[in-house]
Amino acid sequence: MKPLSPRLRIAYVSPRYTPRSAGGAEVLIQSWAERMAGRGHRSEVLTTCARDHIAWDNEYPPGVETVNGVTVRRFPIDRRDRPLQLALQDRINAGRVLGRAEEEAWINAGAQSDALCAYIRARADDFDAFVFAPYLFGVTYNGLRLVPEKAVLVPCLHDEPYAYLRIIRDLFLSAAAVFFNSAAELALARRIMPLDPAKARVVGMGIAGPPRMAPEEFRRKHGIDFPYLLYAGRREGGKSTPRLVEYFRHFRRYGGRELGLVLMGTGEVGIRREETARLVDLGYLPEEEKWNGYAGALAFCQPSVNESFSIVLLESWLAGRPGLVNAFC
């Protein structure tokens, strides 16, 4: 990578850019883009028109908008072959070895946008660096290979079958730099592939809480007059939210009458009407209310086996609340 100018021109490439439903990698990219823009650097986000990370439908119109001072360019997702993706994904998860063409077919059957890649190809000289996150999507795989000498990969790596694919190894090795969120993530990458130590760095994400948290205000607003555990984030099977709700039902069934479970975030929960006295779904809340909810909880629950140093867990610590996590994560 060439020496960078004092005022950087950075493109952030992410498959989604929507705070109400985005995951941790997208939140990380949003944080970096906004903070760098606030320091006088040029931040431009290149993303797709998708909102949902399961269907990947083009829900947003293509075009340009400004979000919190950052230019966001949206490009349509290409026509997807969902049956092919699922068939290849099942083979990957079963430990079957795929040919390179099959690996590429799998990643391109997900979040891929030829229009976004065409923009990168045409405007490569307009930016000092391209930051790609996370690693598992077509826009990352295909976009990074267009500008490897300017590419910073932020993989958000997990120890999962996809991480061992040959195309993923080549992706990591071709990037000019790879930024990790923790030392453990870096150690995992080095165990999987021969990563050059000179281009690998632990960077992480800065998290700042509000100057004031008001847990009693949160309780009054939402009518919560009992001690509660808290979950915040996407509510789905991959995050083990259904398991958390079922565990809480068992707890209530066997005598746990005073404790409640409060859920914040996006996605369906499936709470029965008779359960709402102690099982409370507040949906997506503004940042201020979220922090107030952290501060009032007995503990924060992180039930997923796939999570590690998640943003919401770190936020709960910053609010002074302990974490209750899955022992097998």
pLDDT score of 15 more than 90: yes
pLDDT score of 271 more than 90: no
What is the radius of gyration, based on Cα positions, of the chain?
21
Which tens digit of pLDDT belongs to each residue from 194-204?
Answer: 999 999 999 98
Torsion of CA 273, 275, 276, 280, to 10 degrees: -130
pLDDT score of 114 more than 70: yes
Q: What is the pLDDT of residue 44?
A: 97
Instruction: Give the pair of three-digit tokens for residue 233.
Output: 């984030």
List, in sequence order, every residue forming a beta bridge with 283; answer none if it has no partner. 264
Q: What is the pLDDT of residue 82?
A: 87
Q: What is the pLDDT of residue 256?
A: 67
d(CA 60, CA 20): 13
Which tens digit of pLDDT belongs to each residue from 62-80?
Answer: 999 999 999 999 999 998 8
| Strands 151-153 vs 177-180: parallel, antiparallel or unpaired | parallel
Which tens digit of pLDDT belongs to each residue from 276-317?
Answer: 778 899 998 888 999 999 999 999 999 988 776 788 899 999
Longest dimension (CA), the chain: 65
Q: What is the pLDDT of residue 174?
A: 97
Q: What is the pLDDT of residue 172?
A: 97
Please report which helix (H) or strand (E) contains residue 140, including its range: helix 138-146
Asked whether the CA dihedral 45, 311, 24, 143 is positive or negative, the reply is positive
For residue 22, what pLDDT band results from cuts at 50, 70 and 90? low
Query: What's the pTM value of the predicted model, to 2 decimals?
Result: 0.84
- How far is Cα of residue 306 from the mean position of the Cα atoms in its chain? 12
Which tens digit of pLDDT belongs to each residue from 215-266?
Answer: 999 999 999 999 999 999 888 777 888 899 899 888 888 876 789 999 998 8
- Kindly report the average pLDDT of the chain as a whole number: 91
Torsion of CA 164, 165, 167, 170, to 10 degrees: 30
For residue 3, what pLDDT band results from cuts at 50, 70 and 90? low
Q: Alpha helices, DSSP H only, in 228-286?
A: 241-253
